[in-house]
């Protein structure tokens, strides 16, 4: 897996942290701040998760969709690429790439059901199909994504701490509310989640990490980013971000013509 990752387009497209949260000029003109830019990405990542639960796709499909979504906004503006449409289209595209295809009409049905009171989420099948073409171009047709899940399981087994699987897996899930997958190799994200889980569960993994000969500064930096995220954003598992926090930001974005 590692060898494949190092030669993959995913590896070649890893970004420096300072290149990820740059607000495009078109969005800045609408008054969107870097913090608001992050809030929209969190909000719409959660939207992808909720929509995915409705159409019942595998975890990997969701993770790939969120990765596409976040990668798009390192290149395109939210003004020109409406996140409300980009999010379900990323899920549609990811479902095809991960060979777990979801019909566009099913996505449209559940979006209307989930967001019945918000006209700005009312899209038709043709909207998703048209946006799919735009997303393929925005992503430069590089669609292969490696995730931390597989290395996580392998590393936990190697360390003999498979009892941490549930907590570490949950931490990996939460990393998709951030841009870590665009910045760090997946196995480093997995290691950071194991590191946090081992500390929380009072497991001594010091010697195991030493044997791995990984850069612990990077592992600890990723861990701190995850913990800082938890401290900064109080996200309700069911409702997501507070409405009074996200609505003013979403209202800055143009509605569908």
Would the pLDDT of 216 be above 50? Answer: yes
CATH superfamily of 149-232: Cyclin-like (1.10.472.10)
The C-alpha atoms of residue 113 and residue 122 are separated, in whole angstroms, by 10
Would the pLDDT of 189 be above 70? Answer: yes
Q: Where are the domains of the chain?
A: 16-144+243-250, 149-232
Question: What share of the chain has pLDDT > 70, as a percent?
Answer: 98
The C-alpha atoms of residue 122 and residue 15 are separated, in whole angstroms, by 33
* pLDDT per residue as tens digits for the range 171-182: 999 999 999 999
The C-alpha atoms of residue 222 and residue 34 are separated, in whole angstroms, by 20
* pLDDT per residue as tens digits for the range 44-72: 999 999 999 999 999 999 999 999 999 99
- Per-chain mean pLDDT for the chain: 92
Helix, strand, coil percentages for the chain (3-state, nearest 5): 65, 0, 30
**What is the number of residues in the chain?**
257
* pLDDT per residue as tens digits for the range 89-146: 999 999 999 988 899 999 999 998 888 778 888 889 999 999 999 999 999 999 999 9
Integer angstrom CA distances of residue 96 from 78, 100, 134: 24, 6, 16
* pLDDT per residue as tens digits for the range 137-168: 999 999 999 999 999 999 999 999 999 999 99
**3-class SS of residue 240:** strand
**3-class SS of residue 180:** helix
Q: Which two tokens stand for residue 182?
A: 């665009």
CATH architecture of the domain 16-144+243-250 equals: Orthogonal Bundle (1.10)
Q: Are 40 and 107 in contact (CB under 8 A)?
A: no
Would the pLDDT of 253 be above 80? Answer: yes
Q: What was the pLDDT predicted at 185?
A: 96
Same fold, 16-144+243-250 and 149-232: yes
**3-class SS of residue 236:** strand
The C-alpha atoms of residue 18 and residue 96 are separated, in whole angstroms, by 31
């Amino acid at each position: 897996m590692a060898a494949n990752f190092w030669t993959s387009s995913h590896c070649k497209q890893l970004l420096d942290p300072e290149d990820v949260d740059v607000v495009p000029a078109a969005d800045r003109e609408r008054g969107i701040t870097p913090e608001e830019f992050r809030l929209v990405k969190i909000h719409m990542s959660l939207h992808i998760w909720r929509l995915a639960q409705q159409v019942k796709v595998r975890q990997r499909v969701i993770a790939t969709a969120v990765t596409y979504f976040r990668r798009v906004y390192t290149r395109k503006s939210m003004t020109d690429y409406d996140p409300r449409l980009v999010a379900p289209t990323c899920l549609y595209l990811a479902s095809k790439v991960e060979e777990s295809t979801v019909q566009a009409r099913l996505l449209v049905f559940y979006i209307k059901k989930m967001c019945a009171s918000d006209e700005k989420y009312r899209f038709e099948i043709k909207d998703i199909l048209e946006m799919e073409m735009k997303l393929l171009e925005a992503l430069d047709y590089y669609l292969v994504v490696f995730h931390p899940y597989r290395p996580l399981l392998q590393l936990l087994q190697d360390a003999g701490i498979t009892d941490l699987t549930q907590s570490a897996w949950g931490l990996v899930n939460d990393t998709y509310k951030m841009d870590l997958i665009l910045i760090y190799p997946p196995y480093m994200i997995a290691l950071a989640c194991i590191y946090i889980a081992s500390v929380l569960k009072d497991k001594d993994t010091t010697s195991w990490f030493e044997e791995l000969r990984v850069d612990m500064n990077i592992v600890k930096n990723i861990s701190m980013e995850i913990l800082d995220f938890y401290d900064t954003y109080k996200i309700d598992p069911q409702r997501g971000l507070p409405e009074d926090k996200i609505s003013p930001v979403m209202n800055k974005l143009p509605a569908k013509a």
